[in-house]
Chain A
Amino acid sequence: MDEFLASAGFTDGFPENTTTLIYGPPKVGKSIFCYQFAYHGMSINEPCLYVTADEGMKQLQQNMIDFGWFLQSFMDEELLYIIDSISSLSGVPIENTSTYTLSKINDPTDLMVKIGLGTRFVFKKSNEFRSVFDSLTTLFAFNPEPMVIRFLKTYLRRLKEAGATVIVTYTEGVTDERTEKTLKSIVDNLIMFDGNYMTYKSNLGFIGTVEYEITDQGLVLGKGEIL
């Protein structure tokens, strides 16, 4: 992803130790961006704390296999720590492992505790790591909006302090306008996906836009432009 951003004339890659909100309508590639971001990081030995709220572990693995990205070896190397906040709804018993923890989507307190544990685990591996939260949309479906905002503020602050580069996804239009504004204001950078273009906006006033396509190798960026 970083090379893509750089080669497309964005910045010198993805800004380290910042928080970024990825947003846009459903089915435009936000989750794929997360897969790619996490996978690329792990392939250059940067660990990842991955909070999955939309898909359970099994589906997440399957989705990534569709692109030819296999997680098992990263899990064996303990580069990947997954917090699965949704599988408990499936009613199927699943066991925690040293790098896989279950939480509950309707219990932000429990989720925050698990995130704390996960952060410590990943932080011990490297103080440069990535963190993905995919997606806030499900969190909003199961919790009151102000609670999600409070949760997110704590999450972003803690992860940033720990040295993480954080991305969080959100489906535009599922909450109150004011909530959406707040969401956009508490992160450092915004990336808007619209199905054809992604527009990047950093807190330093940098704005760029780039064409993209979803292929069987993930997102491929086309021509970019700095605005």
Chain B
Amino acid sequence: MIVRIASGITGFDSLTTAGDDLGLGLGGIPENTVTLIYGPPEVGKSNFCHGFAYYGLTQDEPCLYLTTDMGINEISQNFKDMELVLDEYLENKMLYVVDAVSNDDESAPYDWHQSVSVRNPTDILVKVTSGARSISQKNPRLRGVIDSLTTILESNNEMLIVRVLKTYILRLKEAGATAVITYTEGSSDPRTEILIKSMVDNIIRLNGKKITIEAMKGIGRKEAHYQITERGIVIDGNDD
């Protein structure tokens, strides 16, 4: 049986409950896998990450969050809008942020906040790796987020990023992490896009109205409608 962890997205876990579940309701994201969330811009990919990360934190699962589009302060504000407070998790070292947006001087004064440049993938990898190591020393499981891969691809040679991504995936899995990675479809060469899809375990597409689970360990293709509400993504009942 494939162990799944709760996604933190309303409706997602019942959508991903396997057929042989016997009504136990143990859906979610397969543990220790990497999931690609892709689709057009502004369809809720970041919201998915927020829900995923936050739920983990409430379950004492630390999170290694690589952010390239929103600085830590903006993320904190987004969570506040959802009436969720991150401060405590940043203070008690549950949330480790690798921030490719904020400059050093404007970033929040937390220990577990590392600034990187989006143009320096090697440095990103070093900081992510050390983050994963320091978290996994104390915790058997953790969550990982990259939001978004697109920004990193845009600023660098695509093949280099593919190799860095492969290394990231290996290291995060080795550390026991379950990770999600966002990517804006069509933002890189079609070959790069296929390579990215080939390296992840699960693929989810959001198009603004529907969430499609194109591939996931242990279940077939699934589709459902969703909405973005003030409390994050809410998935309606299964359409199938």
> Within the complex, which residue of A25, A90, A141, A173 is in contact with B162, where a contact is CB–CB below 8 Å?
A141
Quick check: is A204 within 8 A (CB to CB) of the other chain? Answer: no
Shortest beta-carbon distance from B133 to chain A in Å:
9
Min CB distance A53 to B, Å, is 10
Please classify the interface of chain A as helix (H, G, I), strand (E, B), loop, or mixed, using the class held by over half of its residues. Answer: loop
Among A5-13, A55-63, A148-156, which stretch is in contact with chain B? Answer: A55-63
Contact: A89 with B166, CB < 8 Å? yes
A selection of 26 A-B contacts at a CB cut-off of 8 Å is A26-B203, A27-B197, A27-B214, A27-B215, A54-B198, A58-B174, A62-B32, A86-B166, A89-B166, A89-B167, A90-B167, A90-B170, A90-B171, A90-B174, A92-B174, A135-B198, A137-B198, A141-B195, A142-B163, A171-B194, A171-B198, A172-B194, A173-B191, A173-B194, A174-B194, A174-B195
Closest 4 CB pairs of A and B: A27-B215, A26-B197, A26-B198, A90-B170
Our pick among A25, A54, A62 for the contact of B194 (Cβ within 8 Å) is A25
Residues of B within 8 A of A99 (CB): none
In the complex, chain A residues 140-178 whose Cβ is within 8 Å of any chain B Cβ: 141-142, 171-175
Nearest CB of chain A from residue B201's CB, rounded to whole Å: 8
**Which chain A residues border B159 with CB–CB below 8 Å?**
141
A61 to chain B, nearest CB (A): 12
Interface set of A (CB-CB < 8 Å, partner B): 25-27, 54, 56, 58-59, 62, 66, 86-87, 89-92, 135, 137-138, 141-142, 171-175, 214, 216
Given known pairs A26-B198, A141-B159, the reply for A56 and B170 (CB within 8 Å) is yes
Please name all residues of chain B whose beta carbon is closer than 8 Å to the beta carbon of A89 when the two chains form the complex: 166-167, 170-171
CB-CB nearest in chain B for A59: B173
Max count, chain B CB within 10 A of own CB: residue among A54, A86, A141: A141
Complex CA gap A138/B166 in Å reads 9
The distance in angstroms between the C-alpha atoms of A58 and B173, with both chains bound, is 10
Q: Which residues of A contact B228 (CB under 8 A)?
A: none
Given contacts A58-B174, A141-B159, A216-B20, contact A26 B194 (CB under 8 A): yes
State the CA gap A164–B173 with chains docked (Å): 32
Complex CA gap A107/B145 in Å reads 30
Query: In chain B between 132 and 183, which residues have their CB closer than 8 angstroms to a CB of chain A?
Result: 159, 162-163, 166-167, 170-171, 173-174
A89-B166, A90-B167, A137-B198 are known; give 20 further A-B pairs, CB within 8 A: A25-B194, A25-B197, A26-B197, A26-B203, A56-B170, A56-B173, A66-B217, A86-B170, A90-B171, A90-B174, A91-B129, A91-B171, A135-B198, A137-B195, A138-B199, A141-B159, A141-B195, A142-B163, A173-B191, A175-B191
Chain A, Cβ-Cβ closest to B173: A59
Residues of B184-234 contacting chain A, CB below 8 A? 190-191, 194-195, 197-199, 203, 214-215, 217-218, 220
Query: How far, in angstroms, from A76 to B195 measured CA to CA in the complex?
Result: 35
CA of A28 to CA of B197, assembled, Å: 11
Given A91-B129, A141-B163, A216-B20: A26 in contact with B170 (beta carbons within 8 A): no
Partner of B2, one of A26, A66, A141, A142: A66
List residues of chain A with CB within 8 A of the CB of B191. Answer: 173-175
Min CB distance, B18 to chain A, in Å? 8
Complex Cα gap A137–B195 (Å): 7
Q: How far apart are B126's CB and chain A's nearest CB, in angstroms?
A: 10
